[in-house]
Chains A and B, each alone.
Chain A
Amino acid sequence: MNAQLVQFLQLSLNGVAIGSIYALVALGIVLTYKATEVLNFAYGDILMMSAFIGWGLIAVVGLPFWLAVLITIAIAAFLGYMLDRHIMRTIVGQPQFAGVMLTIAVAFMLRGAVSMMFGPTSRNYPTPWSGQITHLGPLVIADLSLVILATALLVTALLFLFLRYTQLGIAIQAASQNQLAAYLCGIRVKWLNSLVWGVAAAMAAVCGLLLAPTALVDISLWFVVLKGLAALVLGGFGSVPGAIIGGLLIGLIEQFAGVYLPDGFKEMMAQLVLIGVLIFWPRGLLGEAHGRRV
């Protein structure tokens, strides 16, 4: 194969690898959105905090990798549950803007707390796949990236089936569309919402633990939530398969922009895509069209 094609395929592979992270982030956000109609701006900070906790457990306390991962996910899930139960529940019934503001506030608090406790230096921790790469013909991909891709696909499939086919999943969607009616149908709305937040936080922990070895355990990890939002918008707001497709596409677009476009575009690409999609095609690829009945 000639060099051009190899570069094209390698870029595509890299794009899919990084795109899987974006897809996972988008999935976590779409889950809370589908359940409580709140856009969780704190997702990136829960992600970042989990990375720091993981580092602490692996590098400082010295626990084996898998144990540290499980404990971190448990801590994050617990935190997510408590977050909804004590903080998000106080603003039920207020317009969507209040929810946005509150999650931004929580994001600030998490960011500040982690900054204060761990300081500004970047850190790293070893994983079972550190330094290992797989060769696919002339192409190279890190084992860690394969793991990320597999995790993303697995989580997407589980989430999709859960929301579509289980009673719990349908109950969650019902509660988001008309909360009072859901109560009257006997759905334990408050408990469900907190459960969803816990699951979303657990997903954030998974993202953080998988992303950190590549991007380093650093405060700036929270930025990935902005890429996740771009992925969500591209794929179509409120759509679970859309989140995955959007994430992969953003990853691919970024990689290609880094090579084929002038310097500096790569960092902006996700935001430019978000702006472009919202202006010209607000529904995104697979989004639902919403109208207001008067």
Chain B
Amino acid sequence: MRFDYDTSYADPQRLLRYRSQWIAYGTLVLALIAAPWVLPPYYVGELNYLFIVSIASLALMILTGYTGQVSLGHAAFMAIGAYAHAWFLNNGLGFIASILCASALTAAVGLVIGLPAIRVSGLYLAMITLAGALVTEQIIGRWKDVTGGYSGLSVPAPIVFGFDFGSLRAFYFLCLFVLVLVLSGLLNLMRGRTGRAFVGVRDSEAAAYTLGIWVGGHKVLAFVISAFVTGIAGALLAHHLQFLTPDGFGLTLSMELVLMVVIGGLGSLRGAVFGAVLIGLLPTLISKIKPALPASIATQFGLETFVFGLILALFVMFEPAGLNGRWIKLKVLLQNFPLYRRNTFRRGKVYMHSERYR
């Protein structure tokens, strides 16, 4: 059993409080640093992809999980980040300047999309972001002068301070570094006043107003932060793909990001990473399973879509708190062993309450 014995007001907000956390995360960091020399190159490339989508997933978690703003079109931000970064690089900007400009541009678009989000909420926001993603895909496809349209756009290698990070291992550490940077920044933001305000906006706008929280401003801020970070992820994705085409940033990617956030567990950054790892690895896992399936199912390309849907459905129905929820339950089970009660996390029967007339 764990009892928190806090000796100062800073203790509850410390990111690494317990010795077990230091050991666990320390081991993880060491394993990740050693990975490029231990794993075969294919898996290092996979890890690169996982780092990149983790960044995007964290960004979407801030928006949807913490502030409650649904975005079904987040791939559009990744696309803007990727194409803008490639364009800036092709036009002579250095890597860091280019990535910052691309992310700033994405943040500006996030601002524009965030403004109508003030008046529009929930279902309507889901539809507007979905529509926005479709429109962005079309615009990218047709604005051939800038984006190369459907013929594609090639991306130069990332050169930071004269050192070429294009090789697999160097790019791995670049992505890992950016991920750690983004993660620590967002963790700090979420444990402070802004994070609490976001949760306030999500849970009760009426109460948030009475506490002095400018609800509209915070919604827009969430969009801007989320778009900025997604732009960073998009820029890194550009280097990972090395060649950009519009269909890589369509509805499928948007849905994958939403799946990561929902399956990971809304409202926790750890959940965002869990979800990103699961959904990012899923295509690889499926291709491993394919040889074991009967030929009629394995040869068609619908298997991936079906498995995505199945996993999402199972999580929404049986574990709404997502992977993070399972993680917490497992932790409580281990902490309280053998006194854990099966119904510790059971809630009473709820009835549908109309959200139109609340």
Contact = CB atoms under 8 A, between A and B. Distances in A.
CB–CB under 8 A between A and B in the complex? yes
Contacts of B300: 115-117, 119-120
A56 B118 CA distance: 48
B114 to A, nearest CB: 12
Contacts of A116: 296-297, 300, 302-303, 306
B262 A264 contact: no
Contact of B119 (A180, A183, A233, A282): A282
A189 B352 CA distance: 11
A113 B303 CA distance: 7
B308 interface: yes
Interface string B39-64: 00000000000000000000000000
B356 A238 contact: yes
Interface in A86-111: 87, 90-98, 100-102, 104-111
Contacts of B206: 292, 294
Nearest to B116: A279
A114 B316 contact: no
A119 B295 CA distance: 13
Interface residues of A, number: 60
Interface string B308-333: 11101100111010000000000000
Nearest to A45: B309
Nearest to A93: B350
Nearest to A120: B301
Of all A-B residue pairs in the complex, the 7 with the closest CB atoms, nearest first, are: A115-B302, A112-B306, A108-B309, A93-B350, A109-B309, A112-B305, A105-B313
Interface of B: 70, 116, 119-120, 122-124, 126-128, 130-132, 134-135, 138, 142, 206, 255, 258, 262, 296-297, 300-310, 312-313, 316-318, 320, 349-358
22 contacts: A36-B352, A37-B352, A37-B355, A37-B356, A96-B355, A100-B70, A105-B308, A105-B310, A108-B309, A109-B306, A111-B305, A112-B307, A115-B300, A116-B297, A116-B300, A178-B353, A179-B353, A226-B134, A229-B127, A268-B138, A278-B116, A278-B128
Interface of A: 36-37, 39, 87, 90-98, 100-102, 104-117, 119-120, 176-180, 183, 226, 229-230, 233, 237-238, 263-264, 267-268, 271-272, 274-275, 278-279, 282, 288, 290, 292-294
